Every structure is written in structure tokens, then in C-alpha cells.
Amino acid sequence: MNLIEIATGHEPVPEYYNFTRDAVEYWASVRPDALAMWWTDETAQRQLKITFAQLADRARRASAFFHDLGIKPGDRVAVIAHRVPEWWYAILGLIRLGAVPIPGTPLLTAADISYRLEIAGAVAIVADDAAISKIESFAGVKIAIGQASADWIDFNQGLAQAKTDFEPARTRADDPGIIYFTSGTSGEAKMVLHNQVSYGLAHTITGHYWLDLKPSDMIWALADTGWGKTAWSNMYGPWLMGACVFVMDMRGKFDPNIVLHTLCDFPISVFCAPATALRLLVRKDLKSYHFKCLRHCVSAGESLNAPLYSTWLNGTGLHIYEGYGQTEMVLAVCNVRSHGLPIHPGSMGHAAPGFTIGIVDNDGNELPDGTEGNLAIRVKPNRPVGMFVEYWKNPEETTSRYKGDWYLTGDSAVRDPEGYLWFVGRSDDVINSASYRIGPSEVESSLLLHPSVLECAAIGAPDEMRGEVVKAFIVVREGFTPGDTLKKEIQAHCKSVTAPYKYPRQIEFVHSLPKTISGKVRRSELRRREQQKAPVVR
């Protein structure tokens, strides 16, 4: 089958499709000894080289193992682990079986995990040691990566003993494929449901056009296993192209020296990093490093400004090809190396093949070039293959994203007369801090659990390194004294009740919050205040 023609809508989607069987096992049949993954720990002392034949074998065994545990097609299974090969084995095994993996970041708290397991109706969880310590009570099947206690089943032992000839029923293209949780403007994180092709086939667009991958390439993408970006650049995109994924299991504080030396020491040809990481890397003397294999660099997840692009180019001689998408879709806007169009630093590029992008008003009417509006994707008369199915169990949120012929991304942008798209910001209140999407209500809910907080509002405040940081405006109750001591106490409290990346790095105590006539907090006014006093980000 011609994956590029299908992914871009030029050929019909097949009736049956399964990423593990139709992509990973395909490459295992035609290039069995080619590397699929090169894994290393942070010291590079422990390394594993895994071929496509070995990867397919692990996936096949994993599917049989899960089947023997009673997991069925359509069942939801949470997978929470650091960057260890078993994470990929588990995801691929679940996909092959027709079960639905739900990746989660290791940064999740016990409360986060409990909520996800309950709302998704998960029948099982696969977790490493760090996540296991956060599982308070769960009636489903518990599978351990690493040390398994009495009520946990050993994943690696299960793989070793599993059958290699298990053949599950074929999955239809429109069967559920994977679920990711993503933050919204209100309430808890929402479930983004993809089918078997919307990620498992349509990421051909990501791998072929934006990542520019060939079977001879090795890609390193700095992404947490709980985020959609790992699916983009550490699994679907590369393995659809037959390329090798480089994985370093980094668990400590981000160290730019380790990253730069790794790019020199390993045969990495394609590098994907968010702007937050690049800002730290360009502080080093890039010209003193010799990147012997590196040929192509991309960035997504947050806006890449022109000075950062230029500094990287001057230091490495390599362009950064910016791209845009969401958990809800594959690559939708990008700069494409093979198209030969000049990069306009700071621009996301043009619409990706298979997508029609518009700038529309709140009613779905297209706006002229040069006018700021909603960044939207045309879904009628033809819906792109690489679009999510729905916000599962949340029809109101799903419906709210569509206006006329368009899906509204929740981002605002401008298109110039040459067709280049320029990111402006979030149209809603979601905070984007170092590529982590954080719903303000998630932060506010944790703040309100502290006895000193009477009212609060959370926004994204401009930050030179992270793009945005979480800032909380707090009205305290009588009997509490605003100040540094209370601020630190509140921050420590937030870290204890929610994932640490969500805590407010900045807190401002105020007498009152701006509100609408109906009593809703006007976060937009608070954001505007912060933007007006912020220096220009370089």
C-alpha cells in the first residue's frame, strides 16, 4: 500500500490496518537486521541495539502475553514508564492485540493516575518502579517493568515465556488505536481518541515530509514518553519510514553538555528538540562541537523565534525546520526540507500535505491574509486522515471545536501573502510551558486545596527560557499573611498534590480578581497585564 498517498488523502484508507503488523513487522520482514532502536542510559555505559526483527518479536510476544492475561481488543491499558525499551514493547504489543494504550508521563501524581485509570475504564496498567509507588488502589491487572511485588506481574518474565506465533484478529482502520490525555481550559485533562490510522498511518506525513527520514537515518527526539510528541517522533513517524530511533533514558535535570556530546558521539542524523531545550543548547559554544552525522533539525511544541533560529544556524550550519501540530492530529503545518522553500525564521511554514489550513473568525468565516484569527483545519467535505476521532466521553468539548467546515485548534495565527503561517498564541487559556500543556483549572484546583487560598487564577506568564511559566494570582483568606513564606508553602503544596510541572513558579497576591458580569474570572485580562510588562523574548 502507498502510505503517503493514503495519509494525504489521495488514496482511500484500507479497511484493515494495524501499525505494529503493517509497519514494524513489514520492516522486520524486508530489513530484519536493520536497527530499529539504539538505547542508552544517561551515562552511555549501558547500551542496547535492537533490530526490527527483535522489535517485532518483542511486540508479538507482548501481544500474546497481554492476551493470556485476559486483555481484549478495545480494552484500555495505561502505560507509564520512563524511556526504557519495555515502554515501546508494551505499546506495540497492545496495538497489535487491538487493545488501546494510554501513555502517561512519569511525572503524574497518584491522584493524576487514579483519575486517568477511572475515567478511561482501564482494565490494566503497565508501570515502572517510579509509577508503581504511586498506584494506591487499582482492581485491574497490574504489570511491572522492573521489580515486581506480590500483586504485580513481571512484564519481562511474561515476555520471555510468551508465545511467538500468536495471531490476534485483524484490526479495522477505524478501530480505537491510542488515547492521550490533554489539558483543556476547564476541568480535568481530556481524552484524545485516535483510531488505527489517524496516528498509526497518517504519521507518514510527519516522518516523510517534516522529519525527512530515510531507512538509513537515526533520529533523536527529546520527548517524554507520556506526550504525543513521542508518538510523533519516537515511534510512528520513524518506524513508518524504517528509520532507527535513538533513545537516551535521561531522568535528571536537563544537561545541555550531555545532549551536545551525544549528538557528536552517536550516528544521529536527525534531531528534534523543543525551543526550551534549544535555548539552553545555544548558550554553549556550538562551533566547538563536531556533529559528524547530523544533517536535519526540527522543532515543535512551542514557538521558535528568529534569534534562536539564527544562533543555532550560525553555530551548527544547520537550519531548524519548525512544525506545528497537536495531540489531536499529526503534523499539520511545517517547513519541508525537500520542498525547497526558503525558511522564514519564526514562521511555522505552510500547510502540510493532506491538510488545508485557514485563518478564521469565531464563526468559521475565513479572514484575509495579514489578519489574526483562529488557526483552523478544514474538515469538510474531506476530513484529513491524520485527525483524532473525538474527545472520548466528552461530546460537548468535541462539538465546541467545530465551526462550519472547520476544526478550531485553539491557537491563533496570521498568514502572510506568501502563505507562511505565523503562530500568535493560544486562543484559549491553556498554558504552554516548555511544551507541557497545562490547563489553568488543574492548577487552580490544587491551589484551592490550600487553606490560605480564597480565590485564585492561573495563567501563562511570558518567560525567556520556557516560553511561558505558570503564574497564579491569589486572594488569601483572613488570618493569612501574604509574603515569601506563604508563597513557598503554597508552591510546595501544589507539588505534593499535582504533577510538579504544573506548580506555579510565580505567585502574586492580590486583593481581588478581574471578573465578568456573570462572575467568571477574566484570565485574558491577567495575561494581557503580564504581556505588557514582559521584556521581548530573545
Radius of gyration of the chain from its Cα atoms, rounded to whole angstroms = 23
Nearest of 275, 296, 292, 294 to residue 222 by alpha carbon: 275
User: What pLDDT digit, counting tens, does each position of 176-226 carry?
Assistant: 999 999 876 556 789 999 999 999 999 999 999 999 999 999 999 999 999
Query: Residue 471's Cα: distance from chain center in Å?
Result: 22
- For residue 311, the tally of other CB atoms under 10 A from its CB is 17
- The secondary structure of residue 288, as a DSSP letter, is G
Nearest of 248, 287, 246, 289 to residue 268 by alpha carbon: 246
Mean pLDDT value across the chain:
93
**Helix, strand, coil percent values for the chain (each to nearest 5):** 30, 25, 45
Q: Which residues of 144-157 are buried (b: 16+ CB within 10 A; e: fewer)?
A: bbbebeeebebbee
C-beta of residue 274 within 8 angstroms of C-beta of residue 301: yes
User: What pLDDT digit, counting tens, does each position of 119-133 carry?
Assistant: 999 999 999 999 998
Phi-psi region of 486 (alpha: psi -120 to 50; beta: other; left: phi over 0): alpha
Q: How many helices (H) and strands (E) in the chain?
A: 18, 27
How far apart CA 90 and CA 127 sit, in angstroms, is: 10
What single-letter amino acid sits at 19?
F
Which three-class secondary structure state does DSSP give residue 470? strand
Cell of 283: 548558550
Ranges under pLDDT 50 in the chain: 536-538
How far apart CA 270 and CA 324 sit, in angstroms, is: 17
Cell of 525: 485580562
Nearest of 426, 423, 374 to residue 403 by alpha carbon: 374
Containing H/E element for 426? strand 421-426
User: What is the separation, in whole angstroms, between the first and last Cα of the chain?
Assistant: 46
Which three-class secondary structure state does DSSP give residue 479? coil
pLDDT for the residue numbered 519: 61
pLDDT for the residue numbered 370: 93
How far apart CA 358 and CA 335 sit, in angstroms, is: 17
Containing H/E element for 49? strand 47-51
Nearest of 448, 467, 468 to residue 459 by alpha carbon: 468
**Vertex 382 angle, CA 381 and 385, to 5°:** 160
Cell of 58: 518483542
Residues 6+ apart with CB under 8 A from 214: 241, 242, 243
Which three-class secondary structure state does DSSP give residue 40? strand
Phi then psi for residue 530, to 5 deg, are -65, -40
pLDDT for the residue numbered 190: 92
Q: Distance of CA 429 to CAs 364, 402, 432, Å?
A: 20, 18, 9
Nearest of 105, 3, 2, 26 to residue 330 by alpha carbon: 3
C-beta of residue 457 within 8 angstroms of C-beta of residue 523: yes
How far apart CA 462 and CA 453 sit, in angstroms, is: 24
C-beta of residue 177 within 8 angstroms of C-beta of residue 194: yes
- For residue 225, the tally of other CB atoms under 10 A from its CB is 25
- For residue 158, the tally of other CB atoms under 10 A from its CB is 20
Helix boundaries (H) for 105-255 = 110-120, 129-132, 155-161, 204-205, 228-231, 237-240
> What pTM was estimated for this model as a whole?
0.86
How far apart CA 227 and CA 232 sit, in angstroms, is: 9
Could you check whether the bond before residue 368 is cis, i.e. omega within 30 degrees of 0? Answer: no
How far apart CA 380 and CA 273 sit, in angstroms, is: 33
pLDDT for the residue numbered 85: 98
How far apart CA 260 and CA 288 sit, in angstroms, is: 10
Cell numbers 535521561: residue: 250
- For residue 230, the tally of other CB atoms under 10 A from its CB is 24
